[in-house]
Amino acid sequence: MAVTMNDVAKAAGVSLKTVSNVLNNYEFIRPATKQRVEDAIAELGYEANLTARSLRSGKTSMLGLVLSDLSAPYYAELASRLMDAATKHGYRVLVEQSAADSGAELNALQGPFRQLTDGLLFTPLSIGADAIAERAGSKPLVMLGEHIVDPRFDLVTMKNEEAAAALTSHLLAGGRRRIAVIGATAEESTGTAGLRLNGYRAALKKAGIPFDPALIAPGEWRRDAGAAAVAGLLEAGVEFDAVFGLNDVLALGAMHELLIRGVRVPQDVAVAGFDDVDEARFASPSLTTVSPGMDEIAERSMALLLDRIAGRETADAGVHVEAEFQLNIRESAP
């Protein structure tokens, strides 16, 4: 059997409550008593039972993170930072992969996963604001990304439209006129893909260039889908002089397919992405992309969630934060 608080109390010759006081840093405790308790703890090698503490206090010291797929570099990098941040504040993070499946997203919101955590960082991809509001419960919930922009929820996101517009303008300034977009359908205008596409359209409009739906190719946000989308455009005979992958892996997959087919990057076709994952910098050619402010996103979302949990943030309406972005011009689209 493990050592319990009771054992410590006996060894130190005090009551249970006193041990608890010492453990919880209660102020008004006689130094000598405190010392005796600490000695007993050290001697017995006592470690608090977190489950018991959690049952009694209702706090778990765990935070939930819901995202579609941890093996996607953007999410992997984000999760890694969030975990480091959580550790600094005495929390652990429990990750749930939704695979962008609505059932999985709903489950993460109310099932055991929610119960096990004091608050949630949630990247919704399939379910809507009302479905979330219905099940949100009372525990703090901070949205990540831009599928749900709703005054009811806290939200930490990036400047998708502005950044996509800036990137598109950069491609236009480089003389590109037929910029293919990979990772969206021509009709999309909400969610991450939609917002980035809006930015693209806005930049075209500003430059007086008509929007051509033939240039927009859908695809899951993975490398193989990026490659397949470019292959599709090429085989359909669509002409283009640039490719904007709505995220980096899409752009990287597209670039690979172009190079394999003997299309020169950037001479024949410029390629740009979005995310600035580490891989972008080391691709050949290195990838021009948007750095969406991941550090700021990780930091702000964690701070906001912890503030909600601790009751330091009390705004009734959702707090909305937008991280600053930056354009990283590299070889693939100079």
Partner DNA sequence: CTGAAAGCGCTTACAG
Q: In the complex, which residues of this chain contact a second copy (CB under 8 A)?
A: 47-52, 54-55, 60-62, 69-71, 73, 76-77, 79-81, 83-84, 87, 92-97, 111-113, 115-116, 222-224, 227, 252-253, 255-256, 259-260, 278-279, 281-284, 286
What is the token pair recorded at 307?
A: 């503030």
Reduced to 3 states (helix: H, G, I; strand: E, B; else coil), residue 325 is coil
Q: Which is nearer to a second copy, 313 or 331 (CB)?
A: 331
Nearer to DNA, 54 or 286 (CB): 54
| Angle between helices 223-235 and 248-260 in degrees, nearest 10 | 50
User: Which residues 11-40 are close enough to bind DNA by CB under 7 A?
Assistant: 13-18, 20-21, 23-24, 26, 28-31, 33
Q: State which of positions 53-112 bind DNA (CB under 7 A).
A: 53, 55-57
Q: Select from DNA, a second copy, none the partner in contact with residue 242, using the beta carbon and a kind-dependent cut-off of 5 to 8 Å.
A: none
Number of other residues whose CB lies within 10 A of the CB of residue 40: 21
Residue 175 contacts which entry, a second copy, DNA, none (Cβ below 5-8 A, type-dependent): none
| Cβ atoms within 10 Å, residue 135 | 17
Nearer to a second copy, 206 or 261 (CB): 261
How far apart are CB 52 and DNA at their closest, in Å?
3
User: What's the closest the beta carbon of residue 53 comes to DNA, in angstroms?
Assistant: 4
115 binds DNA, rule: CB under 7 A: no
Smallest distance from a second copy to CB 219, Å: 14
Q: Residue 241 Cβ, how far from a second copy at the closest point, in Å? A: 19
Selected range binding DNA among 52-60, 177-185, 274-282, 316-324, rule: CB under 7 A = 52-60
225 contacts which partner out of DNA, a second copy, none, CB within 5 to 8 A by kind?
A: none
Q: Is the dihedral of CA 15, 21, 22, 24 positive or negative?
A: positive
Measured in degrees and rounded to the nearest 5, phi and psi for residue 208 equal 75, 25
- Map tokens 């990772």 to a residue: 183
With H, G, I as helix, E, B as strand and everything else as coil, classify residue 316. Answer: coil
Integer Cα distance of 97 and 28 in angstroms: 45
Closest CA to 3 of 52, 46, 39, 40: 46
> Looking only at Cα atoms, what is the longest distance across the chain?
85
Give the shortest CB-109-to-DNA separation in angstroms: 19
Q: What is the SS3 assignment for 109?
A: helix
CB of 321 to a second copy, least distance (A): 22
Contact 230, 254 (CB under 8 A): yes
CB of residue 91 to a second copy, shortest distance in Å: 11
Rounded to a whole number of angstroms, the minimum distance from the CB of residue 215 to DNA is 55
Report d(CA 178, CA 180) in Å as an integer.
6
Residue 141, phi-psi category: left (phi > 0), alpha (psi -120 to 50), beta (remainder): beta
Output DSSP code: residue 274: E
Identify what 76 binds: DNA, a second copy, none; CB under 5 to 8 Å per kind.
a second copy
Contact 126, 67 (CB under 8 A): no
Question: What residues make contact with DNA under the rule CB under 7 A?
Answer: 1-2, 4-6, 13-18, 20-21, 23-24, 26, 28-31, 33, 46-49, 52-53, 55-57
